[in-house]
């Protein structure tokens, strides 16, 4: 009997989201308005200990506008990981600044503070760690480096809604932080991004830059974009925000089950003081990672994702000659299992059996 395929990711959208969108449609107020303002306030209350947030139409726009609002531009360098989605470095490059790639720590796949220290130059303006897979980067070490060298910290929290470090939520460490609301993230608004900041001038500029440079209509103060979130997207996001806490707890319980039962593969470590929100549950396999992924899919109907097979510095869009051995090793050996909150007990058992069987067979 063929089993149902277990997808690597599964957005959960229900009646409450549909009703919220319908209410906005009926109101006729589709563009950025009261729903977006309410979503910003609620996101700040639920996930950011009250730090201000600005909603935009994608996470990438959030990074781009955040960097511009923080004063990053031509001649500056911003240190980023190469082992991340390309949007991190793209956003730096789009400001006219240069992304400088640093290596990661293999334990948590986030930027390595020691390697970051070695690539600081007099042009370095800031460091932008990524809380990859939902695990917080080592922000206390980056804060120390930033203070020592007079640099800014920015956070790519695209994958880390609700993650904390020593009790502080990610998104409260940097000049600004960005959360993606893409459908496969831990919560979604359809497409969208949220930028948090504790700096009132950065917040003012973010609000201007997302709206053609206008605070008052037709009185454009700076050259800006249309990066506004719609009320329709905010309505979806507001409903999802009421569920993300439970979904995160389910992701964490699923991760605990895998930690306990997987055999013959490397399971994700969690740093002292860190709360991981398992946007991805990422394992390492000793050899032939691509064969392992194919066997999970073809023989066991278990979807698995590879995030990310080509490090940014080797993409044709950047094509740099850096030597980043941990990044290369991670890109060769990681694979992410389904960990989303729609999995039931039978799915979890099937995933464990599939991984352990493929590992044992030496795929």
Q: How far is the CB of 58 from ligand PLP (least distance, A)?
A: 4
Give the DSSP letter string of 62-108: HHHHHHHHTT--TT-EEEEESSS-THHHHHHHHTT-EEEEE-B-TTT
Ramachandran class of 290: left when φ > 0, alpha when ψ lies in -120 to 50, beta otherwise:
alpha
Q: In the complex with ligand PLP, which residue's Cβ is closer, 89 or 354? A: 89
Q: Residue 283, interface with ligand PLP (CB under 6 A)?
A: no
Q: Residue 85, interface with ligand PLP (CB under 6 A)?
A: yes
Q: In the complex with ligand PLP, which residue's Cβ is closer, 64 or 300? A: 64
Contacts of ligand PLP in 189-208 (CB under 6 A): 193
Q: In the complex with ligand PLP, which residue's Cβ is closer, 131 or 300? A: 131
Locate tokens 């497409």: which residue?
191
Q: How far is the CB of 64 from ligand PLP (least distance, A)?
A: 9
10 is known as an active-site residue = no
Q: In the complex with ligand PLP, which residue's Cβ is closer, 84 or 175? A: 84
Candidates 85-93, 94-102, 103-111, 268-276; binding stretch for ligand PLP (CB under 6 A): 85-93
- What are the residues whose beta carbons fall under 8 Å from the beta carbon of 295, sequence distance 6 or more? 358, 361, 363
Give the DSSP letter string of 325-341: HHHHHHHHHEEEE---T
Q: How far is the CB of 131 from ligand PLP (least distance, A)?
A: 8
99-138 mask for ligand PLP (x: CB under 6 A)? Answer: -------------------------------x--------
Cα-based distances in Å from 311 to 124, 323, 328: 21, 11, 7
By CB under 6 A, the count of residues binding ligand PLP is: 14
Q: Dihedral (C-alpha) 310, 162, 190, 304: value to the nearest 10 degrees?
A: 40
Dihedral of alpha carbons 153, 154, 158, 162, sign: positive
Dihedral of alpha carbons 69, 74, 76, 79, sign: positive
Q: Name the residue whose CB lies closest to ligand PLP.
A: 59
Candidates 20-28, 151-159, 254-262, 334-342; binding stretch for ligand PLP (CB under 6 A): 151-159
Ramachandran class of 319: left when φ > 0, alpha when ψ lies in -120 to 50, beta otherwise:
left
Binding site for ligand PLP (CB under 6 A): 58-60, 84-85, 87-88, 130, 156, 158-159, 180, 182, 193
Residues catalogued as catalytic: 185
């Amino acid at each position: 009997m063929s089993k149902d395929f277990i997808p690597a990711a599964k957005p959960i959208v229900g009646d409450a989201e549909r009703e919220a969108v319908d209410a906005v449609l009926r109101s006729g107020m589709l563009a950025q308005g009261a729903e977006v303002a309410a979503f910003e306030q609620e996101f700040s209350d639920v996930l950011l200990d009250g730090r201000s947030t600005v909603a935009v139409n994608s996470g990438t726009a959030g990074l781009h506008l955040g960097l511009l609002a923080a004063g990053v531009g031509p001649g500056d360098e911003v240190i980023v990981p190469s082992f991340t989605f390309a949007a991190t470095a793209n956003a730096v490059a789009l400001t006219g600044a240069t992304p400088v790639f640093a290596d990661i720590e293999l334990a948590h796949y986030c930027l390595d503070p020691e390697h970051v220290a070695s690539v600081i130059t007099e042009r370095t303006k800031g460091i932008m760690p990524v809380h990859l897979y939902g695990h917080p980067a080592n922000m206390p070490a980056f804060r120390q480096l930033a203070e020592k060298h007079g640099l800014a910290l920015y956070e790519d929290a695209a994958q880390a809604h609700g993650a904390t470090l020593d009790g502080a939520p990610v998104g409260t460490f940097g000049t600004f932080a960005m959360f993606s609301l893409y459908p496969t993230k831990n919560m979604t608004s359809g497409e969208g991004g949220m930028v948090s900041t504790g700096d009132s001038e950065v917040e003012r500029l973010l609000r201007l830059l997302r709206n053609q440079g206008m605070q008052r209509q037709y009185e454009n103060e700076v050259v800006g974009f249309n990066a506004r979130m719609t009320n329709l997207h905010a309505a979806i996001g507001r409903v999802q925000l009421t569920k993300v806490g439970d979904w995160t707890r389910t992701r964490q319980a699923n991760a605990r089950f895998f930690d306990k039962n997987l055999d013959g593969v490397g399971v994700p470590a969690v740093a002292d003081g860190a709360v991981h929100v398992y946007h991805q549950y990422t394992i390492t396999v000793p050899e032939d990672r691509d064969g392992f992924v194919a066997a999970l899919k073809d023989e066991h109907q278990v979807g698995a994702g590879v995030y990310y097979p080509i490090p940014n510095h080797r993409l044709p869009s950047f094509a740099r000659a850096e030597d980043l051995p941990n990044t290369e090793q991670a890109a060769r050996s990681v694979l992410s299992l389904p960990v989303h909150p729609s999995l039931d007990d039978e799915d979890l058992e099937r995933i464990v059996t599939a991984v352990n069987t493929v590992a044992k067979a030496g795929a």
